[in-house]
């Protein structure tokens, strides 16, 4: 672990997002934030929350304009713990032309914000292909925590039919593997991506796309995901697993 001595910097938030309150009190919409944990030596600022949880639920927010017009807007997500408390808020930051021309394959920057209004994690995905016909240009995502400091990568591995990914640390060393099912869109049931040890013999965690009901699945592109990991897993690798969920 390195020595992290970073100061939170003021920033603008995409999509008109207003920084959340510091207190863990209900907001006007009834949201309760997870209490702010104490600082931990050698832990990237803002990732202290991840030392206290072994799973995180990611709920994409419904955009009314997008439902009515099919006009793609910046995606926004709530990241909650098992008690339903909001841990982070994530907001996509891409331009209008990129969103509507490139669709799901678009490059993006995702800013993840904590209870103090700090951007604690930044995800960056370049424009890449996900087809097995283009093995030299598969998906990749960089995870920074705090922004500007790379803590890991998620890279897609070539396979003729299965979605496979590798989690790497900041030095591009392989740490974990992710194996998905052959069919990633299954009716009336969740879809699971297993996180495995590097030799793929020991399960480490799971990324699951949750079935949200026939109406929501058919008429919107909003998704709910769950990420589970060992409580004692390095917080930087937990952050990279969250990044893997957004890439998937």
Per-residue pLDDT of 171-217, as tens digits, reads 999 999 999 987 665 555 788 999 999 999 999 999 998 865 444 44
DSSP H or E stretch at residue 246: helix 235-247
Tokens 């021309």 sit on residue: 101
Q: How confident is the model at residue 3 (pLDDT cuts 50, 70, 90)?
A: very low
pLDDT higher than threshold 50 for residue 8: no
pLDDT per residue as tens digits for the range 10-40: 444 454 555 554 445 555 567 899 998 998 9
Confidence (pLDDT) at 50: 96
pLDDT attached to residue 201: 93
Among residues 216, 223, 246, 221, which one has the least CA distance to residue 70?
221
- List of domains in the chain: 48-247 (3.20.90)
Q: Return the closest-CA partner of residue 180 out of 248, 240, 104, 128.
A: 248
Could you tell me what percent of the chain has a pLDDT over 70?
Answer: 71
Of 128, 164, 149, residue with least CA distance to 42: 149
**Residues 6 or more apart in contact with residue 159 via CB below 8 angstroms:** 132
Q: What is the mean pLDDT of the chain?
A: 81
């Amino acid at each position: 672990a390195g020595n992290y001595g970073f100061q939170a910097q003021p920033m603008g938030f995409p999509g008109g997002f207003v920084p959340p309150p510091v207190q863990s009190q209900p907001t006007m919409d009834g949201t309760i934030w997870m209490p702010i944990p104490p600082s931990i030596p050698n832990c990237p600022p803002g990732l202290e929350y991840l030392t206290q949880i072994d799973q995180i639920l990611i709920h994409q927010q419904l955009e009314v304009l997008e439902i009515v017009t099919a006009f793609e807007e910046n995606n926004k997500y709530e990241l909650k713990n098992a008690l339903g408390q909001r841990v982070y808020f994530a907001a996509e930051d891409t331009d209008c032309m990129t969103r509507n021309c490139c669709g799901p394959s678009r490059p993006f920057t995702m800013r993840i914000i904590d209870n103090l209004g700090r951007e604690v994690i930044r995800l960056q995905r370049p424009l890449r292909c996900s087809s097995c016909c283009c093995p030299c240009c598969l998906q990749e995502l960089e995870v920074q925590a705090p922004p500007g400091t790379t803590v890991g990568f998620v890279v897609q591995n070539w396979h003729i039919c299965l979605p496979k990914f590798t989690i790497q640390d900041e030095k591009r060393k392989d740490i974990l593997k992710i194996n998905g099912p052959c069919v990633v869109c299954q009716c009336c049931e969740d879809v699971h991506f297993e996180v495995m040890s590097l030799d793929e013999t020991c399960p480490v965690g799971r990324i699951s796309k949750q079935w949200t009901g026939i109406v929501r699945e058919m008429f919107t592109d909003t998704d709910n995901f769950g990420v589970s990991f060992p409580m004692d897993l390095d917080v930087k690798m937990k952050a990279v697993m969250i990044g893997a969920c957004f890439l998937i």
